[in-house]
């Protein structure tokens, strides 16, 4: 009986860790797009950089928060950095002294 309880507790703990990790790593789902590279329904990581041409527009749903963002126009577009951290390995630019 004790072995069964220990296995059950370990399984519950593992599910909790997996759930917490997935919540921390949000994804974005493309819900509207006129850019051929980004089809509606595609899910991409929240660190994705959208490379758009002039006149292209992509709207995403940020999961699990259900917020939306629109990226449009020529250039590279991404979500802003989260508070207190950086998304990339490239260091931030230092302000002029």
pLDDT digits (tens, 9 = 90+) for 28-48: 999 999 999 999 999 999 999
The predicted structure's pLDDT at residue 32: 97
Residue 83 lies in a domain: no
- Tokens 């929240």 correspond to 46
pLDDT at 42: 95
Residue 93 lies in a domain: no
| pTM tops 0.85, yes or no | no
Please check whether residue 95 lies inside any domain of the structure.
no
The answer to whether position 82 is within a domain reads: no
70, part of any domain: yes
Number of domains present in the structure of the chain: 1
Whether residue 4 has pLDDT greater than 90:
no
User: How does residue 51 score in pLDDT terms, banded at 50, 70 and 90?
Assistant: very high
Would the pLDDT of 70 be above 90?
yes
Using CA atoms, how far residue 44 sits from 61, 63, 66, in Å, is 10, 10, 15
State the average pLDDT for the chain: 75
**pLDDT of 82 above 90:** no
Long-range contact pairs involving 81-88 (C-beta distance under 8 Å, separation at least 24)? 87/47, 88/47
Q: Does residue 58 contact residue 38 with C-beta atoms inside 8 Å?
A: yes
Domain interval for residue 56: 2-77
């Amino acid at each position: 009986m004790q072995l069964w309880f220990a296995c059950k507790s370990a399984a519950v703990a593992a599910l909790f860790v997996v759930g917490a990790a997935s919540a921390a790593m949000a994804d974005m789902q493309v819900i509207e797009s006129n850019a051929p590279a980004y089809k509606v329904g595609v899910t991409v990581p929240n660190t994705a950089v959208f490379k758009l041409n002039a006149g292209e527009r992509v709207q995403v749903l940020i999961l699990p928060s259900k917020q939306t963002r629109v990226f449009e126009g020529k250039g590279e577009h991404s979500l802003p950095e989260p508070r207190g951290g950086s998304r990339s390995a490239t260091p931030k630019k230092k302000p002029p002294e």
